[in-house]
Amino acid sequence: MPRQFPLEKTRNIGIMAHIDAGKTTTTERILFYTGRVHKIGEVHDGAATMDWMVQEQERGITITSAATTCLWRDHRINIIDTPGHVDFTVEVERSLRVLDGAVAVFCSVGGVEPQSETVWRQADKYGVPRIAYINKMDRVGADFFRGVSMIADRLGANPVPVQIPIGIEDTFRGLVDLVRNTAIIYVDDLGTRSEETAIPEDMLETVREYREKLLEAVAESDEELMVKYLEGEELTVEEIKAGIRKATIAVKMIPVLCGSSFKNKGVQPLLDAVVDYLPAPTDVPAVRGVDPETGNEDQRSSSDTEPFSALAFKIMADPYVGKLTFFRVYSGKLNSGSYVYNSTKGKRERIGRILQMHANHREEVSEVYTGDIAAAVGLKETTTGDTLCDEAHPIILESMQFPEPVISVAIEPKTKADQEKMGLALTKLSEEDPTFRVHTEAETGQTLISGMGELHLEIIVDRLLREFKVDANVGRPQVAYKETVRGTAKVEGKFVRQSGGRGQYGHVWLELEPLEPGQGYEFVNKIVGGVIPREYIPAVDAGIQEAMANGVLAGYPVIDVRIILYDGSYHEVDSSEMAFKIAGSIGFKAGAKKANPVLLEPVMKVEVVVPDEYMGDVIGDLNARRGRVEGMEPRSGAQVIRAHVPLAEMFGYATDLRSRTQGRGTYVMQFSHYDEVPRNIADEIITKRQGG
């Protein structure tokens, strides 16, 4: 099957936003106008096409990034829907990794919400070109220009309106296209009929001001245009579009559009902007990676003639075909039934069928090309973040970094039958989601599941019941505490058993010192002159890491520590890897006790939005929860309180806030950093853990 769309006519985009900015509705409308959906799905009805997991339809939030394909103006647009809820940062991270451009949707009333900031920073990290769409222009309190200034102030971006709204709130009826300098008025509610008319008299001054700003921004992107502009010549529509495109792809400018997706206004111009201003795979730099055999840097440019390379960015369990692996092709092409090399795992895999996904139905294809996003059936070993490539030309593409889980709950199956199914189900779910972990406590035999927040784990437990028919009891949420050291220590670790027959002998001297927060673990080998043979060094490292999994204070994992192995001794006959592993473990435990060990807890960044009259009460409550209030600012009739609060104090906060503010307060929180637990509280936690 030959390529249907040239590469330059392909767009891989994500739609990113805060929870209620109207992202799913916008995606729905895009699918409706591009002819993929015949009846518009409303989130209010729980019938939106992109939200196809039952939990999403009930909660009205998007959890899994379904990938869907649609066509507009002879271009193929692949849309990856990204969730806006903070517990699903991992989904946003992985979708940003595989797209070339994004549409950031903002609510015209709320403007830039805290979650928008998080997603925006993730997009900055990957250098993703963006266009902004200020939605819900028909809502009471809508303010397009405030939205634009918030994008500049809060996100530090350079927003340049390419449209401005005609009318506001319930009089919103169209928009002025600043590029073509015309007005578009919508005639009917389906938004399929619009008329181009002269710009309303009372808007001429505003339009002139904003068109001038647009032309200036365009001229700055290109020297030839700058000369023409300065000489007072009129720029053509084509030149303006080319200038906007160039500046957008270079992430020097964010074109801003407006509309009301719910009222079907502004969606087609948004699609035009995706085609006109966002990059094709050929416009973005070649994808970088390393050659697994030599370790040298390597890259693949977007071309069908290059060797095949792709990144698996999502795994999903499907009731009909089993495991689906979503992947993005960066170079070359791939036929169904062929073999690929998983360079991350060093395994050869066979691709069974290849499916291209619409939100909830799929179509089988025999071949995929550079720039395509598809799902493969039949990959057994591949997990999220793995590279798939041509066996003859291996490469490992930059993988994705996922945050550590911060909250755990104990989970117990209700019956023996549930017990067997639960293990299998939890394995499948952890394959799908790298921020979800499962482990069994050695002492108690309890199964603990860990994730990014209460909602994240609630949805996992919900899926166990619905998809896997596993009924389980869930314990109270537990905080993922960690331990670290604040001081240094030099210690000896010695394991000697020599009583007849073959003995055991391992002897090490270790130095422990603290690392900067977030640096994890570092092992430094300073052994000289062979006092410990080289083959035993990895065993010492392994022993230390094993001991670090259960710290010396309360058995929590130890982080941010450097261990220097600087001396030791060995025995010709009795030394073994096992003996040195145990010696490393003994040494670490002794050293950690001496090096001033402390308990760390996850601290969350919290933003609470409350009406003025409840502010004092809410701040008092945050202080009582050991919170540190960082600042406040007014936002459309309410106050936004920003604070850092330990996660341990935030359980059940939603209910508490509702009762304090009579249901009018809202909050979002996300993991910020680990911080030391105050002495008196740490002592309580330690006593409890030790069964005191």
**For the domain 407-478, what is the CATH superfamily, name and number?**
Elongation Factor G (Translational Gtpase), domain 3 (3.30.70.870)
What letters, b where the CB count within 10 A reaches 16 and e where it falls short, cover 559-585?
bbbbbbbbbbebeeebbbeebbbbbbb
pTM over 0.85: no
pLDDT per residue as tens digits for the range 168-213: 888 999 999 999 999 999 887 665 678 899 999 999 999 999 999 9
Name the segment(s) of the chain with CATH classification 3.30.230.10.
Answer: 484-595
pLDDT band at 443 (very low <50, low <70, confident <90, very high): low
pLDDT for res 60: 47
- For the segment 360-380, the average pLDDT, to the nearest whole number, is 86
pLDDT tier for residue 467 given thresholds of 50, 70 and 90 = confident
If one looks up domain 484-595 in CATH, what number appears?
Answer: 3.30.230.10
pLDDT at 279 over 90: yes
Over residues 16-25, mean pLDDT: 75
Pick the CATH number of 601-689 from 3.30.70.240, 3.20.20.70, 3.40.190.10, 3.40.50.720: 3.30.70.240
| Structure-model confidence comparison of residues 44 and 341, the more confident one | 341
Asked if residues 162 and 256 have their Cβ atoms less than 8 Å apart, the reply is yes
Cα(107)–Cα(416) distance, integer angstroms: 49
Q: What is the CATH number of domain 7-283?
A: 3.40.50.300
Q: How far apart are CA 630 and CA 603, in angstroms?
A: 13
| Parts of the chain belonging to CATH 2.40.30.10 | 287-397
DSSP at 260:
B
| DSSP string computed for 96-164 | HHH-SEEEEEEETTTBS-HHHHHHHHHHHHTT--EEEEEE-TTSTT--HHHHHHHHHHHH---EEESEE
Give yes or no for residue 83 having a pLDDT over 50: yes
pLDDT at 85 (0 to 100)? 56
- The more confidently predicted of residues 83 and 452 is 452
Integer Cα distance of 228 and 219 in angstroms: 8
Asked if pLDDT for residue 61 goes beyond 50, the answer is no
Q: Looking at residue 37, what is its pLDDT? A: 46
Give the CA count within 13 Å in the CB-facing half-sphere of 597: 24
Name the more confident of 53 and 536: 536
Spell out the residues 6+ positions from residue 428 whose beta carbon is closer than 8 angstroms to its own. Answer: 317, 468
The residue-averaged pLDDT of 451-458 equals 81
Tens-digit pLDDT profile for residues 620-637: 999 999 999 999 988 766
Residue range(s) in the chain whose domain bears CATH number 3.30.70.240:
601-689
User: Within the chain, which residue ranges are assigned CATH 3.30.70.870?
Assistant: 407-478
Closest by alpha carbon to 375, among 418, 424, 326, 315?
326
373-391 pLDDT, tens per residue?
Answer: 998 988 988 888 889 999 9
Residues in the chain: 692
Residue 180: per-residue pLDDT: 95
Give residue 47's pLDDT: 46
Lowest pLDDT segment from 188-202, 320-334, 406-420, 647-661: 188-202
For the cut 70, the answer to whether the pLDDT of residue 88 exceeds it is no
Which CATH superfamily groups domain 287-397? Translation factors (2.40.30.10)
Locate tokens 């517990």: which residue? 87
In this structure, what token pair is assigned to residue 82? Answer: 């990204």
Number of C-alpha atoms within 13 angstroms, CB side, residue 20?
10
pLDDT interval class at 31 (50, 70, 90): confident
| Mean pLDDT confidence for 82-110 | 77
The dihedral built from the CA positions of residue 644, 650, 654 and 657, taken in this order, carries a sign that is negative
For all residues of the chain together, what is the average pLDDT?
86
Reference 378, options 352, 354, 347, 343; nearest CA is: 352
Q: What is the mean pLDDT of residues 119-140?
A: 89
| CB atoms closer than 10 angstroms to residue 516 | 6
Mean pLDDT value across residues 545-551: 93
Least confident among 85-89, 197-201, 662-666: 85-89
